[in-house]
Structure 1
Amino acid sequence: MKTKSLLSVIIIMLFIGSLNVCAQSSTNQKKALIVYYSLRNGNTRIVAEHIQKSVGGDIFRIETVNDYPSVYNEVTAQAKRELESGYRPPLKNKVKDFSQYDVIYIGSPNWWNTIAPAVMTFLESYNFEGKTIVPFITHEGSRLGASVTDIKKMAPKATVLKGLPVRGGSVNEAMPDVQRWLKDLGLIK
């Protein structure tokens, strides 16, 4: 009788252990998509590439139908008008089978204390319910601004993790900061 009881306990423990391994394995196999909007100088693109090198996953560049001006002051003036009016620029491209992704890294320059209008269009174009959003923002002194708060408002059914601000002038040297941030969030070891 004792042997049967002991055997039953061992079988139950093995079963519970296998469930735990399956749960860990499915957590580690979440599919990642790195989405970014970047101007020609590519600061946000560079950070997106650092993230992809660290976590793997697919990468997707948000592109607007009409390009922004090539002069930075004209870009910021246009962005200000768009933000004030609530304009959402149409996008050239779409993510194929967005539903396959679990973790979405979203990158944007900080324009007027928030994300670029093109990123707003992107956020309004997909269903983020049950997804995890990991924001990263390039800036020239304003850090995250209201970007993370605005992302949470636009994707209320997503889990939005702590964002990473990266100064535009230091994106090329940002890999250690990116990896530290990803480790702190538990997204890499």
Structure 2
Amino acid sequence: MKKLISIFLTMALTLSLAACGGTGAASAEPSAPDNNTTAQPDATADESSAPEQSAEPDAEPVETPDGEANRILIAYFSWSGNTEELAGMVQAETGGDLFAIEPETPYTDDYNALLDQAQQEQTDNARPALAAQVENWAQYDAVFVGYPNWWGDAPMVVLSFLESYDCTGKSIVPFCTSGGGGFGSSRDSVEASAVGAEMLEGFHVGGSGVSGAQSDVAAWIDGLALAQ
């Protein structure tokens, strides 16, 4: 009888240990999803950095169909902003390319000092150095040249501009702003500096009348009959 009881207890203990072993194996399975979960943010971070690399293709030049070159240039020098505004009106009517004539050494912002400087440049017949040059000058057939009237003439930097290029065969169209002196002798100076060019009818407006000059500019340009 004791032997039978002993066998029964041994079998019961064996079954109990087997049951405990099965429970331990099942509890280990959640560790796999935990590993996958922690890996996901790393992958997301890598993907988020990808847009930063998109700048490399954007840096490549974009090819566009070759169009007909613009044949009208609007070159202007402006100190107060009036001539620049007038140049914008000319551009609106012609569709020409705008180019700002600027001296290598900018003119002073002080009006009284500017008067002295402009007068001295005229006395010296100076030709101030230019800050920039026009690209593809040869492609333009007509060149509008805008400037303020300084001491009854064109600023010397405008003459520097014209004398920097071969104007042979081009049409030069002056436009001018002033405080009341009109073109003064500036047309003659422009013509003398634009050697070989044909001078067309110019346009003048007082500085205070620039903002309302669009219709007059349109009528003037229509009268020139320029091919655009």
Q: What is the TM-score of this pair, normalised by structure 2? A: 0.67
2:157 is matched with which residue? 118
Is 1:54–1:188's contact at 8 Å kept on the other side of the alignment? no
Question: What amino acid is aligned across from residue 104 of structure 2 in structure 1?
Answer: V
Secondary structure, counterpart of 2:163 in structure 1: helix
Q: CA deviation at 1:156?
A: 3.0
Larger Rg: 2
Secondary structure, counterpart of 1:106 in structure 2: strand
Q: Give the alignment of 1:149-160 within 5 angstroms.
A: 149-160=188-199
Q: Distance in 2 between the 1:171 and 1:72 partners?
A: 20
1:94 paired to 2:153: no
1:34 is matched with which residue? 74
2:110 is matched with which residue? 71
Q: Give the alignment of 1:1-189 within 5 angstroms.
A: 31-39=71-79, 41-187=80-226
Note the residue ranges of structure 2 that are not aligned, 5 or more in a row: 1-68
Q: What is the TM-score of this pair, normalised by structure 1? A: 0.81
Is 1:55–1:188's contact at 8 Å kept on the other side of the alignment? no
4+ residue runs of structure 1 moved beyond 6 angstroms?
none
Q: CA deviation at 1:187?
A: 3.1
1:23 is matched with which residue? none
Is 2:70–2:96's contact at 8 Å kept on the other side of the alignment? no
Identity across matched positions, percent? 39
RMSD over aligned Cα, in angstroms?
1.6
Q: Between the two structures, name the one with larger relative contact order (CA 8 Å, sep ≥ 6).
A: 1
Distance 1:38 1:118, change over 3 A: same
Q: CA deviation at 1:65?
A: 1.2
Bigger CA drift: 91-100 or 179-188?
179-188
CA displacement 1:132-177 (0-9 Å, x = unmatched): 0000011000001111111111123100111111111111111111
Distance 1:160 1:33, change over 3 A: same
Secondary structure, counterpart of 1:120 in structure 2: helix
